[in-house]
Amino acid sequence: MTAATNIPNLPSASQILAESKYVSLEVLARTADETDRLRRFPRKAIEELSKRQVLGLMVSREFGGASGSLLDMALVLETLAKGCASTAMIVLMHYCATAVLVAKAPIELKRSILPHISRGEHLSTLALSEAGSGGHFQSPVSRALQKNGNIELNATKSFATSAGEADSYIVSTLNPQAVGPQELDLYFVQSSEAGIEPAGFFEGLGLAGNASAPLNLNQVLVPLQNRLGDEKSGFATMLEVVLPHFQTGCAAVSVGIANAALQRTIEHTTSRKYQHLNQSPLAQIPRVQFLIAEMTMELRSARAYLYETIRKAMAGEADAMIDVLSVKAKAAEASLAIVSRALTLGGGAAFGRRGGLERLFRDAQASAVMAPVTDVLKDFVGKAVLGLPLF
Q: Over the stretch 210-228, which tens digit does the pLDDT of each residue have? A: 999 999 999 999 999 999 9
As a dihedral over the C-alpha atoms of residue 83, residue 87, residue 89, residue 90, rounded to 10 degrees, the angle is -160
Specify the pLDDT at position 21.
56
pLDDT single digits (tens) 96-118: 999 999 999 999 999 999 999 99
> Cα angle vertex 251, ends 26, 19, to 5°?
25
Between 34 and 251, where is the model more confident?
A: 251
CATH of 235-385, one of 1.20.58.220, 1.20.140.10, 1.10.3210.10, 2.60.120.10: 1.20.140.10
pLDDT of residue 1: 32
Q: What percent of the chain has pLDDT over 90?
A: 71
Which of 5-19, 250-264, 305-319 shows the lowest per-residue confidence on average (mean pLDDT)?
Answer: 5-19
Q: Tell me: the pLDDT tens digits for 117-160?
A: 999 999 999 999 888 877 777 889 999 999 988 999 999 998 89
pLDDT digits (tens, 9 = 90+) for 279-301: 678 899 999 999 999 999 999 99
Residues 6+ away with beta carbon under 8 Å from 49: 20, 23, 55, 80, 87, 91, 120
What pLDDT, on a 0 to 100 scale, did the predictor assign at position 200? 78
| Domain ranges across the chain | 13-123, 127-230, 235-385
Domain 13-123 has CATH 1.10.540.10: yes
User: Distance between CA atoms of 199 and 163, rounded to whole angstroms?
Assistant: 9
Separation of alpha carbons 334 and 332, rounded Å: 5
Residue of 238 and 350 predicted with greater confidence: 238
Q: What percent of the chain has pLDDT over 70?
A: 91
Judge residue 143's burial from the number of C-beta atoms within 10 Å of its C-beta, 0-12 exposed, 13-18 middle, 19 or more buried: middle
What is the pLDDT confidence band of residue 91, given thresholds at 50, 70 and 90? Answer: very high
Whether 2 shows a pLDDT value over 50: the answer reads no
- The model's pTM: 0.92
Confidence band (pLDDT; 50, 70, 90) for 367? confident
Average pLDDT, the chain: 89
CATH (residue range 127-230)? 2.40.110.10
CA atoms within 13 A of residue 161's CA, in its CB half-sphere: 27
pLDDT at residue 358, rounded to an integer: 92
Q: Residue 4's pLDDT is what?
A: 41
Mean predicted confidence (pLDDT) in 66-78: 92
pLDDT greater than 80 at residue 255:
yes
pLDDT of residue 121: 96
Same CATH topology for 13-123 and 235-385?
no
**pLDDT higher at 28 or 71:** 71
